[in-house]
Structure 1
Amino acid sequence: MAPIDRCMASVAKLSLAPTVRPSISSTIPRFLAPSLVQTRHASVVKIGRKKQVKKSKPLSKDFKRHKLDKADFPQFTLCEALRILRAYEVGKPPGAVKYEMHIHLKTARNGPVIKSSIRLPNPVQSDWQIAVICPEGSDIANAAVAAGAKLVGEETLFQAIRDGNIAFDRLICHELSEKKLQKAQLGKILGPKGLMPSARMKTVVKDVAKAIRDSAGSSDYREREGAVRMAIGQLAHSPEQLKANIEAVMKKLRAQCAEISEENPKEVHEVILSTTNGPGISLNGKFRNLTEEITPQQLSGPM
């Protein structure tokens, strides 16, 4: 039997000897162990063209308008336009359908805006509900009620407006109540509705009764996007009544265009007439051709 120290020496030699591990290539085929094989690929940087961003065309300084001097551009007399438009309103109540006028202007985009009101010879709407801002219980309030005002007052009227109870079509303010109206800060409510009184629109007045009589049959208009749009008559109006309304509006509008400075000139380019359910028809400025078979009397009254 070998001594213990010799056995311990042989065990130490075995523990210090390097172990030989089998190589993968010799024992396992490469195709059976793909996860053990690391493959490297060269990084490819693609150099492409930059995306071209389409630039929007800048807006022209003036609004685009039709070329009315073209030979084939359709334009009609007032009676011809009424004959066409009335055909679209057959069976409609005469008081429910309105004639609308669209006046296209030659003007710059950043030019001054035309805004005013006019009392038409033949009012489109006569049953206006008018409210007056004036001292409550005063002689001014009594005169306003006698002239036909539906609502009068100051704080009570201001609170009704804040609550959304706007039961009127026009709002007139007396000069004595103008400061209280400014302190009430109702411009954000009344402004978008076109009801905010102002001296420019002649709704801040001294004589309330006269202002009520003048505004009862008046119509407001304002230029938007280079055009003035407003109701010009009812279907029950005759061609002569409609002609009188159109002439009154055009006369005042041309006078306003003439008052504007030469740096931002304005002029009337085209007048279009339409109805509630009908198309827009360009007018040539004439009332009636002698060759037309239909008469103005046939274009009046119910259909």
Structure 2
Amino acid sequence: MATANQCIASLARLSLSAPIRPVNATIPRFLAPSIVQTRYKSAGTVAMRAREKEKQKKKKRMLRFKEYKYATPSEGERHSLCDAMRYLRAAEVGRPPASVTYEVSLKIRTPKNSIVLRNRIRFPYPVKNDTRIAVICKEGSGAMAEARANGAVAFGEDSLYELIKNSPGKLPFNRLICHVDCEASLKKAGLGRILGPKGLMPSLKTNTLTKSVRSMMHEMVGAEGYREKVGAIRMPIGNIQFTPKMLAENVKALVGQVRENIGYVEDKAKKDLIEVVLSSTNGPGFSLNGSFSSVDEKLLPEHLSTAM
């Protein structure tokens, strides 16, 4: 009996003891868990590699051109206003002065698809004096009387619509404003295809819908419109016969107003005026450094104030 109990006890101890495992056992690779296994990406076919390379290039282009490429400061030398005028006047020698104007380009660092700057400015020294205004207003209304008294070349409602439709290529006006009472009839007339490409379609964006025809016409006479396009604002700034003082006043007025416009939209779009470039009708562009006098002490503003 004792011998039987000893045998059972020894068997119980054997069943409770830990199993013996080999110390330096190597697990075959195909039996290892997937987490332990090192996986390698397939090289793929030539077409797959080409598509992946094209995707990487596209991502780089999108990161690089979030802003307009044009709106980058030029690396060339910057000039004073008198020096730039001196070189541009030399480039325009032999051409009729009446056909030559100074032009300015304001480079603006701005994100793509952001708010576009647009406004009108009345220069201290007007560049153009050929403003011809037409007014869309009710027949026989007070707005029509104001348009007639302030020198509008055409006014009315249905009669003016017919004039635009019958002679779209020979319009007698280059500015068109609309009284708010005629906004609905203007939309029904369907003149967008004619007036839109010419930049004459009245709208709230262009500030050509008004309640006061008299004040709007007074604001338009001698005022020029500008609009940001591809990261820059370009417009004529003066005649080639302008003196340095006259041109400086116009440039200062435009730059000041554009900076105000940038301040109005800074909460919605980050914009920076980074460069002002002065050019002429047939001359190159010269980046301005903000100074007025020439680096040549012998060159005075009076020398640039005489006729060419």
- TM bucket normalised to smaller: 0.7 to 0.9
**Structure 2 equivalent of residue 62 of structure 1:** 67
**Structure 2 equivalent of residue 257 of structure 1:** 262
Larger Rg: 1
Distance in 2 between the 1:67 and 1:102 partners? 12
Secondary structure at 2:98's aligned position in 1?
Answer: coil
Distance in 2 between the 1:114 and 1:140 partners? 30
Please say if residues 82 and 299 of structure 1, whose CA atoms lie closer than 8 Å, have aligned partners that are also in contact.
yes
User: Normalized against structure 1, the TM-score is what?
Assistant: 0.77
Cα distance per residue 1:42-97 (max 9 Å; x no partner): xxxxxx965957846524111234456x6xx3110000000000111113232221
Alignment counterpart, residue 97 of structure 2, candidates 94, 97, 101: 94
Cα distance per residue 1:156-208 (max 9 Å; x no partner): 21122223142211001112212211221222221221111123433111221
Distance in 1 between the 2:142 and 2:72 partners? 55
Aligned length: 253
Distance in 1 between the 2:114 and 2:211 partners? 32
Distance in 1 between the 2:270 and 2:99 partners? 37
Q: Percent identity?
A: 41
**Structure 2 equivalent of residue 268 of structure 1:** 273
Secondary structure at 2:193's aligned position in 1?
Answer: helix
Secondary structure at 1:192's aligned position in 2?
Answer: coil
Cα distance per residue 1:260-295 (max 9 Å; x no partner): 244520010111111111111111111114643211
- What is the RMSD computed on CA atoms of the aligned residues? 2.1
- 1:22-171 counterparts in 2 under 5 A? 52=50, 55=54, 57=58, 58-59=61-62, 60-64=65-69, 65-67=71-73, 73-163=76-166, 164=168, 165-171=170-176
1:241 and 2:243 correspond:
no
Unpaired stretches in structure 1, ≥5 consecutive residues: 1-47
Distance in 2 between the 1:155 and 1:86 partners? 49
**Structure 2 equivalent of residue 296 of structure 1:** 301
**Structure 1 equivalent of residue 187 of structure 2:** 182
Secondary structure at 1:95's aligned position in 2?
Answer: helix
Name the one with the larger helix percent.
Answer: 2
Alignment counterpart, residue 199 of structure 2, candidates 189, 194, 199: 194
Secondary structure at 2:251's aligned position in 1?
Answer: helix
Unpaired stretches in structure 2, ≥5 consecutive residues: 1-44
Q: In structure 2, what residue type is equivalent to 1:82?
A: M
User: Normalized against structure 2, the TM-score is what?
Assistant: 0.76
1:213 and 2:218 correspond:
yes
**Structure 2 equivalent of residue 38 of structure 1:** none
Distance in 2 between the 1:49 and 1:109 partners? 35
Please say if residues 237 and 301 of structure 1, whose CA atoms lie closer than 8 Å, have aligned partners that are also in contact.
no
Secondary structure at 1:224's aligned position in 2?
Answer: coil
Distance in 2 between the 1:247 and 1:67 partners? 19
CA shift for structure 1 position 101: 0.7
Q: In structure 2, what residue type is equivalent to 1:279?
A: P
